[in-house]
């Protein structure tokens, strides 16, 4: 039996304005909505010179197959700043091959280099896939609980 | 949170077996490790076998072996074989339809929701890794 094709090597790099179309498509594949204006703003804010904000993409054979974005956040509740992940997304055809892990590790390395000692995120309770992924990276419940109220 | 003994034993058993998937474990060995009767453990292993999480290996030196994918089996799946930790009280439970019952029910449902999401997001592989990290 022939061995399975080895996966192409993954490169993680900072996002560029030219990545907009792929990012919009990757997001739309998950959310069902194309939001070019939103992602253009995010690329401008997170892939620019601000050292506290990060927008990284993963490339396989020259194709962008995933992205992650986050920032270093000062916490309002008297705790020291920490890394915060806003979103992670890997193309359906490239999943379960370590791309998400590479993106997570890359953003964490930036956070560590910037001097923060932990990373946080918020996940929908009814999204087991994303929750399993972050758990597999060693994330556990943190000291905060999110509360909300429906306004009249 | 308190789990029934059978549930906890089942979790211990799948953890032990999935940690060394090549190896066979006898009921006696597992019973000794977790300090319970072989009879109790055998019952638990039968349930796990029916769910295809473990398989009995026949013959001399036979025992049980893990037979599922530890990266895909969550704690919630194992727990659900033995008890329903997050079911709301049935409509016939005393008091549930009262103002008090509804108010308390909403809080308990909130907690159940988090418990379900948490247990459903932790796979055996993740659990093994977290024990190594500590
Ligand atoms: C979550 C996501 C980023 C994971 O990316 P990925 O490249 O597949 O992740 P990896 O291959 O690095 O997987 C790492 C670990 O995550 C867990 N995991 C990932 N997908 C899983 C699945 N389908 N079932 C169970 N566990 C899974 C596993 O533990 C896996 O480790 P393993 O490969 O050793 O089994 C990807 O599935 C995705 O983009 N999903 C949609 C994201 C989304 O909805 N984003 C918008 C909100 S932020």
Report whether pLDDT(B57) > 70.
yes
Across the A:B interface, residue pairs with CB atoms under 8 Å apart total 28
What's the token pair of residue B35? 């300090």
Nearest CA to ligand 1 atom 15: A133
Least confident residue range of A68-82, B27-41, B101-115: A68-82
Report whether pLDDT(A2) > 60.
no
Which residue does chain B place closest to A131, by CA atoms? B121
pLDDT tens-digit profile of A35-47? 999 999 999 999 9
Other C-beta atoms lying within 10 Å of the C-beta of residue B58:
7
Contact A125 B117 (CB under 8 A): yes
**Kind and range of the H or E element at B55?**
strand B54-57
What's the token pair of residue A99? 């791309």
Domain count, chain B: 1
Least confident residue range of A115-119, B19-23, B120-124, B128-132: B128-132
Please report the ipTM that was assigned to this predicted complex.
0.88
Check residue A4 and give its pLDDT.
Answer: 56
Q: B100: buried, middle or exposed (CB in 10 Å: 19+, 13-18, 0-12)?
A: exposed
Angle at CA of residue B29, ends B26 and B35, nearest 5°: 135
Contact A136 B126 (CB under 8 A): yes
CA distance B109 to B101: 12
pLDDT tens-digit profile of B62-97? 799 999 999 999 999 999 999 988 778 888 889 999
Rounded to the nearest integer, the mean pLDDT of chain A is 93
In a domain, B91, yes or no: no
What's the token pair of residue A76? 């309002």
More confident of the two residues A149 and A51: A149
Q: Which residues pair with A87 in a beta bridge?
A: A69
Please answer whether residues B25 and B17 qualify as being in contact, where contact means their C-beta atoms are separated by less than 8 angstroms: yes
Contact A138 B129 (CB under 8 A): yes
**Kind and range of the H or E element at B17?**
helix B5-19
In a domain, B24, yes or no: yes
pLDDT tens-digit profile of A78-130? 778 999 999 999 999 999 999 999 999 999 999 999 999 999 999 999 999 99
In a domain, B48, yes or no: yes
What's the token pair of residue A152? 């009249």
DSSP character at residue A117: -
Rounded mean pLDDT, B49-57 = 96
Distance A108 CA to ligand 1 centre (A): 17
What's the token pair of residue A41? 């703003």
What's the token pair of residue A36? 């070019």
pLDDT tens-digit profile of A134-147? 999 999 999 889 99
In a domain, B64, yes or no: yes
Nearest CA to ligand 1 atom 43: A89
Check residue B14 and give its pLDDT.
Answer: 98
More confident of the two residues A78 and B103: B103
What's the token pair of residue A54? 């990060």
In a domain, B27, yes or no: yes
Q: Which residues pair with A66 in a beta bridge?
A: A58, A90
**Kind and range of the H or E element at A87?**
strand A82-90
In a domain, B44, yes or no: yes
pLDDT tens-digit profile of B36-45? 999 999 999 9
In a domain, B113, yes or no: no
Check residue A143 and give its pLDDT.
Answer: 87
More confident of the two residues A11 and B2: A11
- Helix spans in A7-91 (H): 20-31, 36-46
Contact A136 B118 (CB under 8 A): no
CA gyration radius, chain A: 16
Report whether pLDDT(A69) > 80.
yes
Give the CATH number for residue B70: 1.10.10.10
Check residue A5 and give its pLDDT.
Answer: 62
Domain that holds residue B61: 5-85+123-133
A-chain CB neighbours of B126 within 8 Å are 132, 135-136
Query: Residues near A124 by Cβ (< 8 Å), separated by ≥ 6?
Result: A130
- Interface check for A136 against chain B (CB to CB < 8 A): the answer is yes
Least confident residue range of A58-62, B48-52, B92-96: B92-96
- Backbone φ, ψ for residue A57 (5° rounding): -125, 155
In a domain, B116, yes or no: no
Other C-beta atoms lying within 10 Å of the C-beta of residue A141:
9
Please answer whether residues B64 and B17 qualify as being in contact, where contact means their C-beta atoms are separated by less than 8 angstroms: yes
CA distance, residue B85 to nearest chain A CA (Å): 17
Please answer whether residues A97 and A7 qualify as being in contact, where contact means their C-beta atoms are separated by less than 8 angstroms: yes
């Amino acid at each position: 039996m022939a061995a399975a094709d080895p996966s192409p090597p993954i490169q993680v790099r900072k996002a560029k304005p030219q990545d907009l179309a792929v990012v919009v498509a990757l997001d739309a594949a998950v959310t069902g909505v194309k939001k070019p204006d939103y992602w253009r703003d995010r690329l401008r804010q997170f892939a620019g010179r601000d050292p506290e904000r990060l927008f990284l993409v993963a490339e396989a054979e020259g194709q962008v197959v995933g992205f992650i974005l986050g920032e270093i956040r000062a916490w309002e509740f008297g705790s020291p700043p920490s890394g915060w992940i806003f979103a992670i997304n890997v193309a359906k055809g490239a999943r379960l091959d370590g791309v998400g892990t590479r993106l997570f590790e890359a953003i964490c390395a930036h956070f560590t280099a910037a001097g923060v000692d932990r990373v946080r995120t918020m996940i929908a309770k009814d999204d087991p896939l994303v929750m399993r992924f972050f758990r597999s990276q060693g994330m556990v419940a943190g000291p905060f609980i999110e509360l909300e109220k429906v306004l009249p | 949170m308190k789990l029934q003994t059978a549930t906890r034993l089942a979790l211990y058993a799948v953890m032990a077996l999935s940690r060394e998937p090549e190896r066979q474990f006898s009921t006696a060995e597992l019973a000794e490790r977790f300090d319970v009767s072989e009879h109790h453990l055998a019952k638990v292993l039968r349930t796990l076998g029916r769910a295809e999480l473990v398989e009995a290996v026949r013959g001399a030196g036979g025992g049980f072996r893990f037979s599922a994918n530890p990266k895909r089996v969550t704690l919630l799946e194992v727990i659900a074989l033995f008890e329903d930790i997050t079911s709301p009280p049935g409509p016939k439970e005393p008091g549930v339809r009262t103002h008090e019952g509804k108010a308390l029910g909403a809080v308990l449902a909130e907690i159940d929701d988090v418990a379900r999401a948490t247990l459903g997001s932790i796979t055996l592989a993740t659990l093994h890794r977290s024990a190594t990290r500590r």
